[in-house]
Amino acid sequence: ELGPYSHFMQKEIHEQPKALSDTIEAVLDAGFSAELFGPNAAALLPTLEGVKILACGTSYYAGLTAKYWIESIAGVPCDVEIASEYRYRDAWANPKHLIVTISQSGETLDTMEALKYAKSLGHTAALSICNVRESAIPRASELVFYTRAGAEIGVASTKAFTTQLVALFALAVTLGKVRGRVSDEQQAQFLDELRHLPGSVQHALNLEPQIKAWADKFAAKNDALFLGRGLHYPIALEGALKLKEISYIHAEAYPAGELKHGPLALVDSNMPVVVIAPNDSLLEKVKSNMQEVRARGGELFVFADLDSHFSESEGVHVIRTPRHVGVLSPVVHAIPVQLLAYHAALARGTDVDKPRNLAKSVTVE
Ligand code: F6R
């Protein structure tokens, strides 16, 4: 079953161009039409006043990315909450806010209970973004989008995450369309960007040998810091989670602008700092955050796309990801952080597909 791969995680990382194409195919076939989310969606989506996303772990980070898209493309307020927190607090509910749950397995207990709780508070409509057909969460939801990642066996989520991002991007554009905010021309442009996405992801996969060389250095470290800004902050979070989950290296992620509000105190020559730094509107800000790290002796490992114009220097290592792909850039930048975690784990000899203490589907509290 593993073919040329050593682990399911590695296989699933490499399956991403196909998983993405399969998921994108649904969007290309339907255009950004409400039907993508089920027969009830055409009536529901235009009446919404907001979106509330509930999820756990990596799926929660997909939700954090979606917040940027939903607010900027659709112009709809969006908040994102960890399901296990939401279900236990006295939350305020607006029935006109769509609940969106994100779950690879569709069986995560906290996410399921958060959905039930939202319903009990008066939310009438819920959309499930899920990878497993007919699992519990989509069955309890009015609207469904199934990602087409195929079975994900490695405990660490990889291809499910990037396909969730595509589903959420499609939701953002569709919401924008039904609200008259996204023109036909913009829709055509977004479809085109989706069409090219698997190719850019393949480019990122081809960086594996360079990333492995970095990972071998990381294997000797006890801690790592991940930085990103804007759309790429959730990717920094995802990179830190992947690294701690499978290599057991302690890792934390911060939006780079927060460095000087605390975490900069941790930085010295023993602290590798991974920076997700594509050429977006925040790049100059990220560059100045990087100088703060360098000035304290921190070693920088920068993922920069071809348009970011970075050069290597003492203590600054750069891997060039593909040409900047606009607002879908987080999907492309998820790949190098997955590969970094995978190879760091290999170098440390941990059980990549079955990390200690973790289960693939968390059906208990
Ligand atoms: C991390 C990981 C977990 C899951 C989380 C939610 O690599 O896989 O954080 O993302 O347990 O699982 P689902 O998406 O099945 O609800």
**Cβ(84) to ligand 1 under 6 A?**
no
Q: 281-318: per-residue pLDDT in tens?
A: 889 998 999 999 999 999 999 999 888 888 899 999 99
- The secondary structure of 171-210 as a DSSP string is HHHHHHHHTT-S-HHHHHHHHHHHHHHHHHHHHHHTTHHH
What's the pLDDT score for residue 252? 97
Residue nearest to atom 5 of ligand 1 (CA): 57
What's the ipTM? 0.99
Measured distance CA(85)–CA(53) in Å, rounded? 12
- Measure 231 CA to ligand 1 centroid, in angstroms: 20
- DSSP H helical ranges for 6-73: 8-14, 16-30, 41-44, 57-69
**Cβ(149) to ligand 1 under 6 A?**
no
- Measure 215 CA to ligand 1 centroid, in angstroms: 23
- Measure 54 CA to ligand 1 centroid, in angstroms: 12
What's the pLDDT score for residue 123? 96
Residue nearest to atom 7 of ligand 1 (CA): 156
Which residues in the chain come in under a pLDDT of 50?
Answer: none
What's the pLDDT score for residue 311? 85
**Cβ(158) to ligand 1 under 6 A?**
no
Is this model's pTM higher than 0.90 or not? Answer: yes
**Cβ(163) to ligand 1 under 6 A?**
no
Counting ligand 1 atoms within 8 A of each CB, the residue from 60, 84, 104 with the most, and so the one to mutate, is 104
Residue nearest to atom 9 of ligand 1 (CA): 57
**Length of the chain in residues, anyone?**
365
Measured distance CA(202)–CA(200) in Å, rounded? 5
User: Using CB atoms within 10 A of its CB, is residue 229 exposed (0-12), middle (13-18) or buried (19+)?
Assistant: buried
What's the pLDDT score for residue 147? 98
**Cβ(57) to ligand 1 under 6 A?**
yes
Q: Which helix (H) or strand (E) holds 48?
A: none
360 is catalytic: yes
**Cβ(58) to ligand 1 under 6 A?**
yes
